[in-house]
Structure 1
């Protein structure tokens, strides 16, 4: 295991102790995985299936490209079908610890990749290499790292990326599996759920090199894509039932952890705040456009639903190696995963995109809007008679 040194305050040292084996939970996980990796090396290659030639390239043979990450719900520019050999995709994530407003003056401390909750969507193709630089500015108070569910080994990169304030680290992994995957901070012990509950998560989409396909192998194309990251927050209340706020990030920790133990979030939101994807921030589309929605939840199960629409193609488990399900009304996303769903809009108007636990959607904030422009089709829906008074 790679060792780290630090001259950071006691809280940073404790995070490192927990991550490197001092905490019971992380120590057992780390030791178990390390032992499994060592013993598994002897079996490497003996049961391997034949893979396509693109999988055989090594990083030193490949072109480098820099991906410009953007704040959700937007996604970075990308090709739906890969061109040529795999590439080394360079990305940079800068961690920002800050206080945000969840709704109507209710504030929460967040740890945000590139300043947004969720962090930006990363996009690459299967067999590409992702070279990720993680920056923890010296103005931050906590140590951080990144665990990418798309990566193989070393706790998804968590072992290789633990950085104290004032440090940065670069590591590279090969995107061997095609699909949508969560990434999140996992610095050890209770810091893992606390950092995730402070919004420190995002997603990566690894597209098949030949693009998305339906169950019959036909190409599936999308005109635009959006990334919706669902997050649960746990804000303590005072004796008067008012949400509390804290002047410093560490000041919130103990009381937030107590609320987290109840497994009852105070807020369940899309993209970092109640109403973050409504009104002027609503997603947009046109009649006839196919829109891909990538939806992640790092902590809790959720159930996306488009009110007035459907999932024409849904990769609910996130694996693009599997044939998509067709024509779903609602689809389940397991906590700690991301899914992809594609819908071709047939009618104009305002659509609600919600977590169909409607308590969480309406009362806790897990709702977004999609404004769709175009011509109405009476054949799909029409009002036969307007409301009239009953005699």
Structure 2
């Protein structure tokens, strides 16, 4: 059975239940915060104290390991700009913790796994959960993906190569990858990463891609940046085989490439996609240039491939930028106040649209599917880059002052599923 990721699989009914439960919980009289010793464990007389921070609709850490029989004290600090609390399934709970305040919770003697959550409306369903487990280790266990421990993926756009013929070796690899905190999946990839490597060139360039199948099943590749009959270059190849895919880049844009093997939904949904940037002839220099590929995660059983039935039902567990939920919330993109920032965005799907937005910024340049639809000299501005699956473009903005500028897909359910990050802007020198 596959495992849901945080609040990613929330349905309307569950959200309503969470709201109702949270409202009732807030109105209830707070029970005592000291809990009796678990009946099936001998108290050790020792106390384990763990600091937990509530921030970005998550507890950090979200797993605490306590020696069996120890009393657990949780010092909960609210690092968010909204109120939170912590309720444990054994009856212990804090009151509502105000912004930047700290509460002390006596969780009692721990003899078995105890689940915890925030009881404010819909916070639990959005992913604010915590688990206390017994074990020989003590203290907090930071889940991968929290506080910047997620796998690194530099979003900086690669420079445009000087050469006009690009010879690329691309290898199909079937590898286990951490796709969310504590969740590993057997992903089908190009060169071992999801998404695959970003390629770049100019109009008129030639790409010669040698695809080698190092996997255990047939795979292929389809480059949207080229226009040619698909019969031979896009054909699936068996394990151990190679083919050469040659195309001319005749049109500018950010183009998707993906596996061409049927069912394509499964191959794309399980990681086989990437981006090719072909520069428009008049592309100006900017201070910072980033690439974000939005896609969906459909988790299967731990360590196995993604769930095709979820893909067919359009029920993603997460929606992500560059292969991992909330990746750039903990490792922000960076800029300096007054910098011009360009962000290329590709919606790889396979199913969800994107409405890319940077909170606190107004786009003065929008390039969508091969044409500039807004320029810096135009009187208007734009708030989103609207993309469907397999479409892309770029936006530019001058970030006026230092601070933190969140970016999201403004389809808010997808932002809460993980399609979000931050641009951290430092003061001008």
> Structure 2-normalised TM-score?
0.59
Q: SS at 2:299's partner residue?
A: coil
Deviation of the 1:328 alpha carbon: 0.7
Could you say which residue in structure 1 is the equivalent of 2:397?
Answer: 343
Q: Whole-Å Cα distance in 1 between the matches of residues 168 and 270 of structure 2?
A: 22
Aligned 1:270-285 pairs, distance under 5 A? 270-279=321-330, 281-285=331-335
The match for 2:157 among 75, 96, 109 is: 75
Across the two proteins, how many residue pairs are aligned to each other? 272
Cα-to-partner distance string for 1:301-344 (whole Å, 9 max, x where unaligned): 1100001112220113x214x44365211120111112111122
Cα-to-partner distance string for 1:268-314 (whole Å, 9 max, x where unaligned): 111111222222x2211112221211111122211000011122201
Could you say which residue in structure 1 is the equivalent of 2:299?
Answer: 235
The match for 1:207 among 279, 293, 300 is: 279
Could you say which residue in structure 2 is the equivalent of 1:319?
Answer: 370
Cα-to-partner distance string for 1:146-203 (whole Å, 9 max, x where unaligned): 1111110223x87445332222222211001111111111112x2x110100121111
| Alignment gaps of 5+ in structure 2 | 1-151
Could you say which residue in structure 1 is the equivalent of 2:184?
Answer: 107
Q: SS at 1:134's partner residue?
A: strand
Q: Whole-Å Cα distance in 2 between the matches of residues 375 and 76 of structure 1?
A: 25
Q: Whole-Å Cα distance in 2 between the matches of residues 72 and 315 of structure 1?
A: 23
Residues 1:310 and 1:111: Cα distance change in structure 2 (over 3 Å)? farther
Which of the two has greater helix per residue? Answer: 1
| Alignment gaps of 5+ in structure 1 | 1-69, 213-219, 237-243, 377-391
Q: SS at 1:304's partner residue?
A: strand
Q: SS at 2:217's partner residue?
A: coil
Which of the two has greater strand per residue? Answer: 2
Q: Whole-Å Cα distance in 1 between the matches of residues 154 and 242 of structure 2?
A: 23
Could you say which residue in structure 2 is the equivalent of 1:373?
Answer: 426
Could you say which residue in structure 1 is the equivalent of 2:175?
Answer: 98
Residues 1:285 and 1:222: Cα distance change in structure 2 (over 3 Å)? same
> Structure 1-normalised TM-score?
0.65
Measured on the aligned residues, the alpha-carbon RMSD in Å equals 2.3
Asked whether 1:332 is paired with 2:389, we answer no
Aligned 1:239-258 pairs, distance under 5 A? 244-246=301-303, 248-249=304-305, 256-258=307-309
Deviation of the 1:127 alpha carbon: 0.9
Q: SS at 2:156's partner residue?
A: coil
Structure whose CA Rg is larger? 2
Residues 1:356 and 1:228: Cα distance change in structure 2 (over 3 Å)? same
Deviation of the 1:99 alpha carbon: 2.0
Residues 1:101 and 1:297: Cα distance change in structure 2 (over 3 Å)? same
- Structure 1 contact 135–168 (Cα < 8 Å) conserved: yes
